[in-house]
Structure formats: C-alpha cells, structure tokens
A = this chain, B = another copy of it.
Amino acid sequence: MTIRIQTQDFDAGLEIKQLRHARKDTGAVVSFIGQVRDINEGDTVSLLTLEHYPGMTEKALQSITDQAKSRWDIFDVLIIHRVGTMQPSDQIVLVAVISAHRGEAFKACEFIMDYLKTEAPFWKKEVTQQGDKTAERWVEAKITDDEARQRWAKPY
C-alpha cells in the first residue's frame, strides 16, 4: 500500500502499470483520477490551490485504505494526492486498486474516494474569473459527498 502527498505532478500511466505488475494474479485494475475543472458553480476557474494538514492527511488515508482492505478482497492500493497550486486539466488525485476480480476493485476504489472526499484533511481554494473580475474563494463542502459516504455505512 502506497500513499503519497506531493506538489509535483505524476505519471498516472506509469503508476498504474507498476501497480498492476506487482502481482501476476492481478486480473482487475480500477483507477480514479480527479482533475481540476475549468468551471465551478457557474464561474470560470483559472487556478486551484490545495492545502492539507501534514501528518493527519497520511494517517487519514492510511485508515481509509485499511478499512477498504478489511472489507474487500483486494491486493493493493495506491493513493497519490497533490497539494499546492494547479490549473484546469491538471491531475489532483489518483486512487488505483488491484484485485483478482473487478467487483472488489470497483467497490474499494469508489469507497476510498468517497471517504477521502469527506475525511482526509485537504481544502481547496479557487481563483475565479467573473467577467473582468478575479476573485478568490474557498470551495464549499458538498452535501452530495456526505451522502456518497453514507451509502457505505449500510450493512453489506
């Protein structure tokens, strides 16, 4: 299991390739890439800055991954999350999961993303263009993210 918090970009293709080659009995690789959108709540976004809580971030992601490993039959997990300043189309996060069969990897990958979105201490601030005006604002947490996480609390 690998968890990396970094300012620099990453080569998602290479990371996924290394992960899936780690075991010869890997049959399924599910990955999620989150990237900066050029629009949010109707406004043009030109820059996004990500702040985090060093120390807690790694522990939160470790705990989320441990939960996924105890719930589903998966081989390995890779999480890379960037911090710092990014532009539209830049990669923010990669979560990749390998397993023997696809069902487990799909569930674990989505579970990790839903928990990361609601429990890992990252905060986004965006620079928006509204006509001629440039404005900075903190991105608000979404209720839909809380709802997405709640689904996993149901008996399974």
Contacts and interface: CB of A to CB of B under 8 A. Distances in A.
B37 A27 contact: yes
How many copies, total?
2
A110 interface: yes
Interface in A17-68: 17, 20-21, 24-39
Interface stretch (A78-86, A99-107, A128-136): A99-107
Interface residues of A, number: 37
B106 A110 contact: yes
A134 B35 CA distance: 47
A13 to B, nearest CB: 1
A30 B32 contact: yes
A144 B104 CA distance: 12
